[in-house]
Every structure is written in structure tokens, then in C-alpha cells.
Amino acid sequence: MRIDKFLSQLKYCTRSEAKDFLHTHHVIYQNQRILLTKHDVNPEKYDINIDGENVFYKKDIHLMMYKPKGYLSANHDALHPCATDLIKPPYDRFDFSIAGRLDLDAEGLLILTTSGTLVHDIISPKKHLPKVYLVTLDKPFTHEEQLLQGVTILDGKDEPYTAKALHLETHQEEVFITIDEGKFHQIKRMFQTVGYNVLVLKRIQIGKLSLGNLQPGDIIEFQPEDLYD
């Protein structure tokens, strides 16, 4: 790619500002200082050094985050802090898409990636990638059969939709529920349909990828194959 595109992608400057950036900063590639915006670089093969520091670069980056309550599954918002606010260097120079959002008051496993293909694989209902949630209800749960058979809820467009639990494990008010889709407020609406309010919602697993020992706000890198058998 051209060096001006590289600098823009990693948020050092805009492409129109790249000419001035190259003249006011030492950008070294293959032991040569770059001064022309049209200079081609291959950051996957060779290091690019800016003002004495090698730039961290990967074509595709996949992060798993323990999203705390109170953070939006979004990149920008005027009212609330966003999950992307928790991203620290060296990842903070990259633009991430969120694969499978969590409500503001929900917590747990959130996947952020620079790969559109991976986003599609995670959120597409055709892929049937299981997601496991731990919910705390307002009373002991006794309606396993109804959720396993399927209940009718409204999706994000207020259209009727049949939602099914693939698996349930009940411990009084606490329930582990597995689904392979993620309609708007699906978990909460499923339980509300059979007479329960969700007090705490925590996603603990997507595919084979689980929270493990992550604490709220923690972020680690993973590989796509970690999601699958």
C-alpha cells in the first residue's frame, strides 16, 4: 500500500496531511527515509519506523474483551462510554468492528475484529455459532421446556420471531442459556415471555471462545480458529 494510506489507516494523519507528516517526522522503511506520499510499503513484511519506534501492524486483529456494565457496544457515543474506549496501545490505532453486541447494562464476552469476514461468521444465523449466557432472574426458573420448544418474541423491527434455547442449565435463579442467534434483546425477551425479569445478563462464551479468567475491562488477542472445534 502507499505510505499515505498506511499513515491514515493507523491514524497518524489524514491522507491529505501525509505530505507534511513525512517532512516533519522521520519515517524509515528498509533503512530509507520516506518523503513521498506515493511510496509503496509492505508493513506485513518489513518494519516501518516512525521517529525511532517500530510501528505495530497486522492486517487482521481479533480481540476478545470482557465488556463491563455501563459501556456501549459501539465505537462512538455522546452520552455513554464505549467498549472501544477500553482498547489500549498498540491496538488503539486500528478501527474495529464489534461482532455481536451486548446491551449497556449487560456484561461479558465481546469480540472486536478488523475482519469483516469474521464479523459475518459470528453474527450470521446461518453459521449457527452458539453463544452462552449466564442470567440471574427475579425468581427461581421452572420453564425450561417452553424455552427449549421456542417462544414468540419481537425482533429489532418489532416483527414476530420464534426464539429457541439450544440448551439450558438451571440453578434456582441462575440459568445458563445457549442460543445460536442474537436478535434485539433476545435473551431478556425470551425470559419475559414466560414470566421472568432478567436482573443480570452476562455472556460467557461464543463458539469455543470463553471468558476464562478475564476481568471486566480486560482485552486479549485471539485467533479465529479458537472459535471453532
At position 126, the amino acid (one-letter code) is: K
Quick one: pLDDT band at residue 26, thresholds 50, 70, 90? very high
Q: Work out the average pLDDT over 26-43.
A: 98
Contact 87/219 with Cβ under 8 angstroms? yes
Mean pLDDT of the chain: 95
Quick one: pLDDT band at residue 181, thresholds 50, 70, 90? confident
C-alpha 42, offset from chain centre: 27
| Catalytically annotated residue among 47, 60, 92, 103 | 103
Contacts of 110 (CB under 8 A, 6+ apart): 64, 65, 66, 67, 73, 83, 98, 100, 101, 102, 203
pLDDT of 158 = 84
Domains and CATH numbers, the chain: 3-54 (3.10.290), 58-127+212-229 (3.30.70.580), 130-206 (3.30.70.1560)
Peptide bond before residue 90 is cis, with ω within 30 degrees of 0: yes
Whether the predicted pLDDT of 138 surpasses 80: yes
Q: How far is CA 194 from CA 125, 152, 164, in A?
A: 24, 10, 12
Quick one: pLDDT band at residue 94, thresholds 50, 70, 90? very high
pTM: 0.91
**Gap between the Cα atoms of 59 and 50, Å rounded:** 19
Whether the predicted pLDDT of 5 surpasses 80: yes
Whether the predicted pLDDT of 125 surpasses 80: no
Contacts of 17 (CB under 8 A, 6+ apart): none
102 CB neighbour count, 10 Å cutoff: 23
Of 209, 213, 214, 210, the residue nearest 227 (C-alpha): 209
b or e along 134-161 (b: 16 or more beta carbons within 10 Å of the residue's beta carbon)? bbebeeebebbeebeeebebbeeeeeeb
* 103 belongs to the catalytic site: yes
Contacts of 187 (CB under 8 A, 6+ apart): 133, 135, 177, 179, 198, 201
